[in-house]
Amino acid sequence: MGSVGDKKWGGCACNLWSSSSSSASVKLLLFMVSLIVVCGFVSVLGPLESNWVFLSSSSSSSTGAVTSMKNIHVNNKKEAISDDSVLNRSSTPPQTIEAIQVQLNGTKEGIYNFSVARLGIFPPMNESYDPVKSPDPLLKARRDHSNLDTLEAGLSRARAAIREAKRANQTQDPGFVPLGPMYRNANVFYRSYLEMEKQFKIYVYEEGEHPLFHNGPCKSIYSTEGNLIHGIEINNQFRTRDPEKAHVFFLPFSVAMLVRFVYVQNSHDFGPIKHTVTDYVNIISGKYPYWNRSLGADHFMLSCHDWGPEASRATPYLHKNSIRVLCNANTSEGFNPTKDVSFPEINLQTGSIDGFIGGPSPSHRPILAFFAGGLHGPIRPVLLEHWENKDEDIQVHKYLPKGVSYLDMMKKSKYCICPSGYEVASPRIVEAIYAGCVPVLISDFYVLPFSDVLNWKSFSVEVPVKDVPNLKKILMSIPTRQYIRMQRRVVQVRRHFEVHSPPKRFDVFHMVVHSVWLRRLNVRVRNNVHVL
């Protein structure tokens, strides 16, 4: 006698073979036919290609974000986009509008790099099927596939319209039409902006509570962080409450608030901040399918705090794959202008731009160049060493004399010197633009805000750190007519940096959203589920 198990299966076998030979033959034939049908059914449902990359659930520190991702299918066929214009470009090489994929780079941590191709994501293949929880998995897969196809088809049409705009005439708009050398390609930017207005949708995860989530400073040097979080959440045009209609997903944590409430002062320990971000990503990736579907490539965070890049390193997919909207847009620290967005730093002490906008004409600006600020970072000591209180034309001060207005000095100056501090971003750039003062940019590794759209060289002056001793000579060598053209262009691009409540078309809120839109155009998410 066998075991209980042997009795169960052995009994079946004995019953089968103890029958007559004809009955056995019939049953054997039925069994073989059934087996052939099952094999055929599996072959239909199986993947059409065999180039699979397998993920280990212990391959990274953010295991909770990827536990349901058993495999990623990589389709090596390139997206048929060959736009060599100006979208998604930094101040250095131009980038094309391409669909990109997340690709394993072979490191033990399973961190992903980007390359030009399509991203195809398959659902888990070895999860148990529960007919109660999931009555029809094929129907759900078909529905998800259809939703994603609809979104990606709309983005594909947008890419085509943007490419066509290089050759087409400008569409007339009663509100505003970007024109002039301040734009790398005004037609392309304008078409892209209109496509964004027509279809772009953002889903905001509602998990998380104040003060760390859905909140941010609006009256400080980090004011753009709070203003953008607030602006996205109350916006009825771009925000959608239906995640199935979203092109991107917003992680609404504030790094400035994390530093204020989670970080232990003077501890130099980023652990509590990173743990909070990791926990949040694990929560939303466990509750929703969207993070796992793209490994975070269609998700974005924003931060104007210097520690934004460090917070994004809490999980490798957030750092390497997601769109990071950062004031600290430093390429030497991992900022990638192909997928990340440079966020303008705006110091709104009162929460409003009232009183900051405007200034006299070029002929009523007697000061050649102006700067006031303390020793902060490696560049300012060089500037102060060579120019502090040494020249009436180059007004450089560590501290302004009592009774002298900082804003008035900017409005009296032709050029406003904007050196980096310890980090690359400086609120002086936007302050100069507000005052109608031509910015003089002294910074290394800084990707300027909206540089995929704006031609900064047409309305600003870039001076390498090594040329600080020659600053006066450089500025004096600029012909008066060229300076007047630059100053007028500063006034024309100012609308793109203004903060309004509620936001206005083409203002800083819409320009940041447009920058995210451009990065989303660079990603194609595919839910490659083969169904009958």
**pLDDT value of residue 128:** 40
* CA-based nearest residue to 306, from 420, 147, 469, 208: 420
Q: b or e along 360-381 (b: 16 or more beta carbons within 10 Å of the residue's beta carbon)?
A: eebeebebbbbbbbeeeeebbe
Would you state the torsion angle of the CA atoms of residues 483, 484, 485, 487, taken in this order, to the nearest 10 degrees? 90
pLDDT in tens, 398-407: 999 889 999 9
What interhelical angle do 508-521 and 223-234 show, nearest 10? 70
pLDDT in tens, 33-65: 565 554 554 444 443 332 222 222 223 333 333
Contact (CB, 8 A) for 305 and 225: yes
Residues in the chain predicted with pLDDT less than 70, given as ranges, are 1-145, 169-172, 174, 528-532
441's enclosing H/E stretch is: strand 438-442
Rounded alpha-carbon distances, angstroms, from residue 197 to 239, 383, 402, 506: 12, 43, 48, 11
Could you tell me which residues come within 8 angstroms of residue 186 by beta carbon, excluding any fewer than 6 positions away?
Answer: 170, 177, 178, 179, 180
Amino acid at 349: Q
**pLDDT value of residue 219:** 86
Q: Map tokens 């009296």 to a residue.
A: 412
pLDDT in tens, 148-176: 889 999 999 999 999 998 877 666 676 78
Q: Is 329 helix (H, G, I), strand (E, B) or coil?
A: coil
CA torsion sign, 301 to 106 to 330 to 183? negative
Q: What angle do CA 512, 323, 234 make, to 5 degrees?
A: 45
Does the domain at 367-497 match CATH 3.40.50.2000? Answer given as: yes
* Domain residue limits, the chain: 199-348+502-522, 367-497
